[in-house]
A and B are shown apart, each in its own frame.
Chain A
Amino acid sequence: MNFFTKSLGHHLLGLYFSREGLIKAMKATEVGYNSKVEGDVVHTRLDAAVSWFRKNSLWPMPMGLACCAIELMAAGASRFDISRFGAEVMRFSPRQSDLMIVAGTVTYKMALAVRRIYEQMPEPKWVIAMGACASSGGMYRSYATLQGVDRILPVDVYISGCPPRPEALLEALMKLQNKISNEPHITDKKPARDRGLVLS
Protein backbone atom coordinates (compact mmCIF):
# COMPACT_ATOMS: atom_id res chain seq x y z
CA MET A 1 0.00 0.00 0.00
CA ASN A 2 1.34 3.41 -0.91
CA PHE A 3 0.64 6.30 1.34
CA PHE A 4 0.56 9.86 0.14
CA THR A 5 2.28 11.74 2.91
CA LYS A 6 2.50 15.28 1.62
CA SER A 7 0.67 16.94 4.50
CA LEU A 8 2.00 14.44 7.01
CA GLY A 9 5.52 15.13 5.80
CA HIS A 10 5.21 18.88 6.32
CA HIS A 11 3.83 18.31 9.74
CA LEU A 12 6.79 16.20 10.66
CA LEU A 13 9.22 18.64 9.10
CA GLY A 14 7.80 21.48 11.11
CA LEU A 15 7.56 19.64 14.36
CA TYR A 16 10.41 17.29 14.75
CA PHE A 17 13.06 17.16 12.10
CA SER A 18 15.06 18.96 9.52
CA ARG A 19 14.21 17.64 6.10
CA GLU A 20 17.52 15.74 5.96
CA GLY A 21 16.90 14.20 9.35
CA LEU A 22 13.48 13.08 8.29
CA ILE A 23 14.73 11.62 5.05
CA LYS A 24 17.48 9.77 6.83
CA ALA A 25 15.10 8.38 9.39
CA MET A 26 12.51 7.41 6.82
CA LYS A 27 15.16 5.75 4.68
CA ALA A 28 16.07 3.56 7.60
CA THR A 29 12.47 2.37 7.69
CA GLU A 30 12.12 1.18 4.11
CA VAL A 31 11.34 4.43 2.37
CA GLY A 32 12.31 5.23 -1.17
CA TYR A 33 12.81 8.96 -1.55
CA ASN A 34 14.38 10.95 -4.30
CA SER A 35 14.09 14.70 -3.75
CA LYS A 36 14.79 15.52 -7.40
CA VAL A 37 11.91 13.45 -8.62
CA GLU A 38 9.45 13.68 -5.79
CA GLY A 39 9.88 17.07 -4.13
CA ASP A 40 7.95 17.21 -0.86
CA VAL A 41 6.24 13.90 -1.45
CA VAL A 42 7.33 10.85 0.48
CA HIS A 43 6.20 7.39 -0.49
CA THR A 44 6.12 4.71 2.12
CA ARG A 45 3.97 1.92 3.40
CA LEU A 46 1.50 3.01 6.03
CA ASP A 47 2.70 0.16 8.23
CA ALA A 48 6.27 1.39 8.03
CA ALA A 49 5.30 4.95 8.85
CA VAL A 50 3.15 3.91 11.79
CA SER A 51 5.86 1.60 13.11
CA TRP A 52 8.33 4.42 12.88
CA PHE A 53 6.09 6.73 14.91
CA ARG A 54 5.43 4.08 17.49
CA LYS A 55 8.88 2.77 18.06
CA ASN A 56 10.34 6.20 18.63
CA SER A 57 7.86 7.28 21.25
CA LEU A 58 7.36 4.36 23.59
CA TRP A 59 5.84 5.49 26.86
CA PRO A 60 6.93 3.06 29.56
CA MET A 61 4.87 1.92 32.49
CA PRO A 62 7.65 1.50 35.10
CA MET A 63 6.59 -1.65 36.92
CA GLY A 64 9.38 -1.33 39.47
CA LEU A 65 8.94 -4.15 41.95
CA ALA A 66 12.39 -4.68 43.45
CA CYS A 67 16.08 -3.85 43.14
CA CYS A 68 16.03 -3.86 39.29
CA ALA A 69 13.91 -0.72 39.45
CA ILE A 70 17.00 1.14 40.65
CA GLU A 71 18.71 0.33 37.36
CA LEU A 72 15.57 1.33 35.52
CA MET A 73 15.78 4.70 37.27
CA ALA A 74 19.44 4.94 36.32
CA ALA A 75 18.50 4.27 32.70
CA GLY A 76 16.11 7.21 32.91
CA ALA A 77 18.62 9.56 34.50
CA SER A 78 21.23 11.75 32.85
CA ARG A 79 24.11 9.29 32.55
CA PHE A 80 22.27 6.72 30.45
CA ASP A 81 19.40 8.93 29.31
CA ILE A 82 16.69 6.69 27.90
CA SER A 83 15.24 9.75 26.12
CA ARG A 84 17.86 9.23 23.42
CA PHE A 85 15.57 6.41 22.33
CA GLY A 86 12.32 8.30 22.78
CA ALA A 87 11.21 6.31 25.81
CA GLU A 88 11.69 8.80 28.59
CA VAL A 89 8.05 9.54 29.27
CA MET A 90 7.49 7.20 32.22
CA ARG A 91 3.78 7.14 32.90
CA PHE A 92 2.37 6.02 36.21
CA SER A 93 -1.03 5.62 34.67
CA PRO A 94 -1.45 2.48 32.57
CA ARG A 95 -3.95 4.34 30.40
CA GLN A 96 -1.15 6.49 29.05
CA SER A 97 1.56 3.93 28.51
CA ASP A 98 2.30 1.30 25.89
CA LEU A 99 5.42 -0.44 27.20
CA MET A 100 5.43 -2.22 30.51
CA ILE A 101 8.92 -2.64 31.95
CA VAL A 102 8.64 -5.28 34.66
CA ALA A 103 11.69 -4.49 36.77
CA GLY A 104 11.90 -6.75 39.77
CA THR A 105 10.57 -9.73 41.63
CA VAL A 106 6.94 -10.55 40.91
CA THR A 107 5.40 -12.13 43.99
CA TYR A 108 2.15 -14.05 43.75
CA LYS A 109 0.56 -11.34 45.83
CA MET A 110 1.57 -8.73 43.26
CA ALA A 111 1.00 -10.90 40.20
CA LEU A 112 -2.64 -10.17 39.60
CA ALA A 113 -2.11 -6.46 40.17
CA VAL A 114 0.58 -6.54 37.48
CA ARG A 115 -1.81 -8.37 35.21
CA ARG A 116 -4.59 -5.88 35.85
CA ILE A 117 -2.33 -2.91 35.14
CA TYR A 118 -1.25 -4.60 31.91
CA GLU A 119 -4.86 -5.08 30.92
CA GLN A 120 -5.59 -1.41 31.59
CA MET A 121 -2.94 -0.36 29.09
CA PRO A 122 -4.39 0.43 25.67
CA GLU A 123 -3.31 -1.53 22.60
CA PRO A 124 -0.79 -1.66 21.06
CA LYS A 125 1.39 -2.61 24.01
CA TRP A 126 4.62 -4.41 24.71
CA VAL A 127 6.36 -5.93 27.71
CA ILE A 128 10.02 -6.05 28.70
CA ALA A 129 10.92 -8.51 31.47
CA MET A 130 13.89 -6.86 33.10
CA GLY A 131 16.26 -9.03 35.10
CA ALA A 132 16.42 -12.60 36.33
CA CYS A 133 13.44 -12.25 38.65
CA ALA A 134 10.98 -10.92 36.11
CA SER A 135 12.23 -13.40 33.50
CA SER A 136 12.31 -16.57 35.59
CA GLY A 137 11.84 -15.90 39.29
CA GLY A 138 15.59 -15.47 39.60
CA MET A 139 17.14 -16.65 42.80
CA TYR A 140 13.75 -16.76 44.49
CA ARG A 141 12.90 -20.43 44.31
CA SER A 142 10.27 -19.66 46.87
CA TYR A 143 6.64 -20.37 47.66
CA ALA A 144 5.92 -16.64 47.36
CA THR A 145 7.46 -15.81 43.98
CA LEU A 146 5.98 -16.12 40.52
CA GLN A 147 8.53 -17.99 38.40
CA GLY A 148 8.67 -15.50 35.57
CA VAL A 149 6.21 -12.81 34.57
CA ASP A 150 5.65 -14.61 31.25
CA ARG A 151 3.26 -16.84 33.14
CA ILE A 152 0.77 -14.02 33.24
CA LEU A 153 1.83 -11.60 30.48
CA PRO A 154 3.10 -11.93 26.90
CA VAL A 155 6.74 -10.84 27.16
CA ASP A 156 8.46 -9.35 24.10
CA VAL A 157 12.02 -9.01 25.35
CA TYR A 158 13.79 -10.68 28.28
CA ILE A 159 16.89 -9.16 29.86
CA SER A 160 19.34 -11.33 31.77
CA GLY A 161 21.26 -10.06 34.76
CA CYS A 162 20.77 -9.49 38.44
CA PRO A 163 20.38 -6.62 38.03
CA PRO A 164 20.99 -5.88 34.35
CA ARG A 165 22.97 -2.72 33.76
CA PRO A 166 21.15 0.24 32.21
CA GLU A 167 22.94 -0.46 28.92
CA ALA A 168 21.22 -3.84 28.85
CA LEU A 169 17.86 -2.17 29.24
CA LEU A 170 18.70 0.21 26.40
CA GLU A 171 19.75 -2.76 24.28
CA ALA A 172 16.42 -4.41 25.03
CA LEU A 173 14.67 -1.22 24.05
CA MET A 174 16.50 -1.20 20.72
CA LYS A 175 15.61 -4.85 20.16
CA LEU A 176 12.01 -4.02 20.87
CA GLN A 177 12.17 -1.09 18.44
CA ASN A 178 13.42 -3.47 15.76
CA LYS A 179 10.61 -5.82 16.56
CA ILE A 180 8.02 -3.04 16.39
CA SER A 181 9.31 -1.82 13.04
CA ASN A 182 8.68 -5.28 11.61
CA GLU A 183 5.20 -5.67 13.04
CA PRO A 184 2.33 -5.32 10.55
CA HIS A 185 0.25 -2.80 12.47
CA ILE A 186 -2.39 -1.89 9.96
CA THR A 187 -3.09 -5.28 8.53
CA ASP A 188 -2.83 -7.19 11.80
CA LYS A 189 -5.36 -6.01 14.33
CA LYS A 190 -4.89 -8.89 16.71
CA PRO A 191 -4.26 -7.89 20.33
CA ALA A 192 -0.77 -8.41 21.71
CA ARG A 193 -1.57 -11.59 23.55
CA ASP A 194 -2.65 -13.40 20.39
CA ARG A 195 0.49 -12.63 18.42
CA GLY A 196 1.96 -16.03 19.11
CA LEU A 197 3.70 -14.97 22.29
CA VAL A 198 4.29 -16.85 25.48
CA LEU A 199 1.24 -17.23 27.65
CA SER A 200 0.20 -19.87 30.10
Chain B
Amino acid sequence: MTAKQLAKKLQRQFKEIVSDAMEFRGELTVEISDASQIAEVCRYAKEELGFDYLVDLCTIDNDDETPRWTAVYHLYGYGHLRHLRLKTSVSEEESEFPTVTTVWRTADWHEREAFDMMGIRFAGHPDLRRILMWEGYPYYPLRKDFPLAGKPSEMPDVAFSDPIPLEGGPFVTLAGGEDAAAREPRVRTPE
Protein backbone atom coordinates (compact mmCIF):
# COMPACT_ATOMS: atom_id res chain seq x y z
CA MET B 1 0.00 0.00 0.00
CA THR B 2 1.34 3.43 -0.85
CA ALA B 3 1.39 6.28 1.63
CA LYS B 4 -1.46 7.90 -0.33
CA GLN B 5 -3.63 4.85 0.10
CA LEU B 6 -2.81 4.72 3.80
CA ALA B 7 -3.78 8.38 4.17
CA LYS B 8 -7.06 7.65 2.32
CA LYS B 9 -7.78 4.82 4.72
CA LEU B 10 -7.16 7.09 7.67
CA GLN B 11 -9.54 9.63 6.19
CA ARG B 12 -12.24 7.02 5.64
CA GLN B 13 -12.00 6.02 9.28
CA PHE B 14 -12.14 9.55 10.73
CA LYS B 15 -14.29 11.24 8.10
CA GLU B 16 -15.03 14.65 9.53
CA ILE B 17 -11.73 15.49 11.11
CA VAL B 18 -9.05 14.22 8.71
CA SER B 19 -8.26 16.40 5.70
CA ASP B 20 -7.19 15.29 2.23
CA ALA B 21 -3.54 14.39 2.05
CA MET B 22 -1.40 17.29 0.84
CA GLU B 23 1.70 16.37 -1.08
CA PHE B 24 4.86 18.45 -1.01
CA ARG B 25 8.09 17.18 -2.52
CA GLY B 26 6.91 13.62 -2.25
CA GLU B 27 5.89 13.91 1.39
CA LEU B 28 2.30 13.52 2.56
CA THR B 29 0.69 15.61 5.27
CA VAL B 30 -2.82 15.30 6.64
CA GLU B 31 -4.41 17.79 8.99
CA ILE B 32 -6.53 16.74 11.91
CA SER B 33 -9.09 19.44 12.60
CA ASP B 34 -9.97 18.24 16.10
CA ALA B 35 -6.87 18.10 18.28
CA SER B 36 -8.69 16.37 21.11
CA GLN B 37 -8.89 13.22 18.96
CA ILE B 38 -5.24 13.09 17.93
CA ALA B 39 -4.54 10.14 20.24
CA GLU B 40 -7.30 8.03 18.69
CA VAL B 41 -6.13 8.93 15.19
CA CYS B 42 -2.59 7.95 16.13
CA ARG B 43 -3.72 4.69 17.70
CA TYR B 44 -5.57 3.77 14.52
CA ALA B 45 -2.55 4.74 12.40
CA LYS B 46 -0.36 2.50 14.50
CA GLU B 47 -2.56 -0.50 15.02
CA GLU B 48 -4.48 -0.66 11.74
CA LEU B 49 -2.21 1.14 9.30
CA GLY B 50 1.11 -0.21 10.52
CA PHE B 51 2.76 3.10 11.47
CA ASP B 52 4.64 1.49 14.31
CA TYR B 53 7.35 4.13 14.59
CA LEU B 54 6.98 7.76 15.72
CA VAL B 55 9.94 9.44 14.03
CA ASP B 56 9.43 12.81 15.65
CA LEU B 57 6.93 14.97 17.41
CA CYS B 58 7.52 18.68 17.20
CA THR B 59 5.54 21.83 17.74
CA ILE B 60 5.20 25.11 15.88
CA ASP B 61 4.58 28.55 17.37
CA ASN B 62 2.42 30.38 14.83
CA ASP B 63 3.12 33.65 16.65
CA ASP B 64 0.21 36.05 16.23
CA GLU B 65 -1.81 33.78 13.96
CA THR B 66 -4.56 31.70 15.46
CA PRO B 67 -4.54 28.97 16.53
CA ARG B 68 -1.14 29.58 18.03
CA TRP B 69 0.19 26.05 18.51
CA THR B 70 0.57 23.29 15.94
CA ALA B 71 1.82 19.83 16.79
CA VAL B 72 3.41 17.77 14.03
CA TYR B 73 3.65 13.97 14.19
CA HIS B 74 6.02 12.22 11.81
CA LEU B 75 5.02 8.58 11.38
CA TYR B 76 6.84 5.71 9.76
CA GLY B 77 6.11 2.02 9.38
CA TYR B 78 8.82 -0.60 9.41
CA GLY B 79 6.47 -3.08 7.75
CA HIS B 80 5.59 -0.99 4.70
CA LEU B 81 8.37 1.65 4.83
CA ARG B 82 5.95 4.57 4.30
CA HIS B 83 6.03 8.02 5.84
CA LEU B 84 3.06 10.12 6.90
CA ARG B 85 2.86 13.45 8.66
CA LEU B 86 -0.05 14.51 10.88
CA LYS B 87 -0.70 18.08 11.92
CA THR B 88 -3.11 19.46 14.42
CA SER B 89 -3.52 22.80 16.21
CA VAL B 90 -4.85 24.25 19.42
CA SER B 91 -5.41 27.81 20.56
CA GLU B 92 -3.22 29.67 23.01
CA GLU B 93 -5.96 29.61 25.66
CA GLU B 94 -6.07 25.85 25.52
CA SER B 95 -2.33 25.13 25.04
CA GLU B 96 -2.90 21.42 25.57
CA PHE B 97 -2.82 18.32 23.38
CA PRO B 98 -3.78 14.81 24.44
CA THR B 99 -0.67 12.74 25.00
CA VAL B 100 0.29 10.05 22.51
CA THR B 101 2.59 8.29 24.99
CA THR B 102 -0.22 5.76 25.29
CA VAL B 103 0.33 4.92 21.60
CA TRP B 104 4.10 5.19 21.23
CA ARG B 105 6.12 5.23 24.44
CA THR B 106 8.85 7.18 22.69
CA ALA B 107 6.56 10.21 22.67
CA ASP B 108 7.40 10.68 26.34
CA TRP B 109 10.58 12.69 25.80
CA HIS B 110 9.31 14.40 22.66
CA GLU B 111 6.36 15.76 24.57
CA ARG B 112 8.56 16.79 27.45
CA GLU B 113 10.74 18.70 25.01
CA ALA B 114 7.73 20.45 23.53
CA PHE B 115 6.60 21.31 27.04
CA ASP B 116 10.04 22.60 27.96
CA MET B 117 10.66 24.69 24.85
CA MET B 118 7.13 25.91 24.05
CA GLY B 119 5.18 25.61 27.28
CA ILE B 120 2.53 23.38 25.72
CA ARG B 121 1.02 20.77 28.02
CA PHE B 122 0.15 17.20 27.10
CA ALA B 123 -2.87 15.86 28.96
CA GLY B 124 -2.29 12.40 30.39
CA HIS B 125 1.50 12.48 30.06
CA PRO B 126 2.99 10.29 32.81
CA ASP B 127 5.83 12.64 33.79
CA LEU B 128 5.58 16.10 32.28
CA ARG B 129 8.77 17.82 33.45
CA ARG B 130 11.34 20.00 31.74
CA ILE B 131 13.92 17.97 29.91
CA LEU B 132 16.56 20.38 28.52
CA MET B 133 16.34 23.45 30.73
CA TRP B 134 16.45 23.07 34.48
CA GLU B 135 13.43 22.69 36.72
CA GLY B 136 12.41 26.21 37.71
CA TYR B 137 13.64 28.05 34.59
CA PRO B 138 10.94 30.66 34.10
CA TYR B 139 10.74 30.94 30.28
CA TYR B 140 9.95 28.89 27.19
CA PRO B 141 12.86 29.62 24.89
CA LEU B 142 11.53 28.44 21.52
CA ARG B 143 8.49 30.70 21.63
CA LYS B 144 8.54 33.42 19.01
CA ASP B 145 8.32 36.14 21.65
CA PHE B 146 11.44 34.88 23.44
CA PRO B 147 14.48 36.94 22.38
CA LEU B 148 17.30 35.12 20.59
CA ALA B 149 19.77 36.50 23.12
CA GLY B 150 17.92 34.93 26.03
CA LYS B 151 16.81 36.50 29.29
CA PRO B 152 18.46 36.73 32.68
CA SER B 153 17.33 34.29 35.32
CA GLU B 154 18.65 33.20 38.67
CA MET B 155 18.01 30.17 40.83
CA PRO B 156 20.50 30.08 43.69
CA ASP B 157 22.43 26.79 43.81
CA VAL B 158 20.69 25.47 40.70
CA ALA B 159 21.52 27.61 37.69
CA PHE B 160 21.59 31.12 36.34
CA SER B 161 21.45 32.58 32.84
CA ASP B 162 22.49 35.86 31.24
CA PRO B 163 21.50 37.42 27.92
CA ILE B 164 24.27 36.81 25.42
CA PRO B 165 26.07 39.34 23.21
CA LEU B 166 25.01 39.05 19.58
CA GLU B 167 27.78 41.29 18.22
CA GLY B 168 25.62 42.69 15.44
CA GLY B 169 23.82 39.43 14.76
CA PRO B 170 21.67 37.43 14.37
CA PHE B 171 23.35 36.11 11.26
CA VAL B 172 20.81 35.03 8.70
CA THR B 173 21.38 32.86 5.66
CA LEU B 174 19.38 33.71 2.55
CA ALA B 175 18.32 30.69 0.56
CA GLY B 176 18.39 30.93 -3.23
CA GLY B 177 20.97 33.71 -3.52
CA GLU B 178 22.84 34.11 -6.81
CA ASP B 179 26.18 32.87 -5.52
CA ALA B 180 27.85 31.80 -2.30
CA ALA B 181 28.55 35.41 -1.31
CA ALA B 182 24.88 36.30 -1.55
CA ARG B 183 23.80 33.24 0.42
CA GLU B 184 26.35 33.50 3.17
CA PRO B 185 25.14 34.33 6.69
CA ARG B 186 25.14 38.09 7.33
CA VAL B 187 23.65 40.52 9.76
CA ARG B 188 20.13 41.09 8.50
CA THR B 189 18.22 43.03 11.07
CA PRO B 190 14.50 42.51 10.57
CA GLU B 191 12.76 45.81 9.78
Query: Which residues in A have some Cβ–Cβ distance to B below 8 Å?
Result: 108-109, 111-112, 137, 141-145, 147
Contact = CB atoms under 8 A, between A and B. Distances in A.
B158 A144 contact: no
A108 B141 contact: no
Contacts of B167: 141
Interface of B: 132-134, 141, 146-151, 157-167, 169-170
Nearest to A152: B160
B151 to A, nearest CB: 7
Main secondary structure, interface of A, reads loop
B151 A141 contact: no
Given A143-B151, A143-B161, 11 more contacts: A108-B134, A109-B133, A111-B159, A141-B165, A141-B167, A142-B164, A143-B141, A143-B163, A144-B150, A145-B164, A147-B165
Nearest to A113: B159
A141 B166 contact: yes
Contacts of A137: 164
Contacts of B157: 112
Top 5 nearest A-B pairs (CB, nearest first) are: A143-B150, A108-B161, A143-B141, A141-B164, A108-B159
Contacts of B164: 137, 141-143, 145, 147
A111 B155 CA distance: 12
Given A109-B133, A137-B164, A143 B149 contact: yes
A117 B162 CA distance: 22
Nearest to A145: B164
Contacts of A147: 162, 164-165
Contacts of B169: 141
Given A141-B169, A144-B141, A108 B151 contact: no
Contacts of B163: 143
A141 B149 contact: yes
B159 A109 contact: yes
Given A141-B164, A143-B161, A109 B146 contact: no
16 contacts: A108-B159, A108-B160, A108-B161, A109-B132, A109-B134, A111-B160, A112-B158, A112-B160, A137-B164, A141-B149, A141-B166, A143-B146, A143-B161, A144-B161, A147-B164, A147-B165
A137 B157 CA distance: 22
